[in-house]
Amino acid sequence: MIYEIHLYVPKTGELTPAMLEWLFENGERNDHPEAYWPVCKLKPHALARRLLRLDQTLVPVQGPANDVELHYPNAELGIVLYVHDRGVILFFPYMAYSIYSRIVLGICYTYIRYLYDIAGFWSFDPQLDILSYGDDYAALEHTAVLMDRVMPKLLTT
């Protein structure tokens, strides 16, 4: 199972559940005026370059349209940062009860924290329905515990 965390820069400095609901309903559409969008418009290539300055080992791949994929160099870990014009989606495999899950989450947290520090990105975990700042390292362990508790149940249904 591929796990994902969505990262956005809210225009108001705060991201709410209503804003996320609007994004998931309307995020694929391009016909809304900029004033309707609750999150900032980004320049995917510029953001990808910033992330490459943090981690020069990331492998950039051109995505659809103007999007950029940044692949972690160890393919076995399966970490991909998908940079689009409204945010970043961080993909990684779900590995229950594994030391690898803590390693992968640690690597992902580094990217999440960096994006929070450079531009105020907030993170949303749609699997666990958790919205947070990127600056809380304790949330990493909380996420790992919740993943180990909740995700096996979701996989069996």
* Rounded mean pLDDT for each run of 10 residues along the chain, 157 residues in total: 90 91 90 93 97 97 95 93 96 74 85 92 84 62 64 56
* CATH class of the 2-151 domain in this structure: alpha beta
In the chain, the DSSP E strands lie at 2-8, 59-62, 68-71, 80-84, 87-93, 122-125, 130-133
What is the pLDDT at residue 148? Answer: 65
pTM listed for this prediction: 0.85
CA atoms within 13 A on the CB side of 8: 25
Beta partners for 60? Answer: 70
Domain-wise residue ranges, the chain: 2-151
Residue 12 Cα distances to 9, 92, 124, 143, angstroms: 9, 29, 16, 25
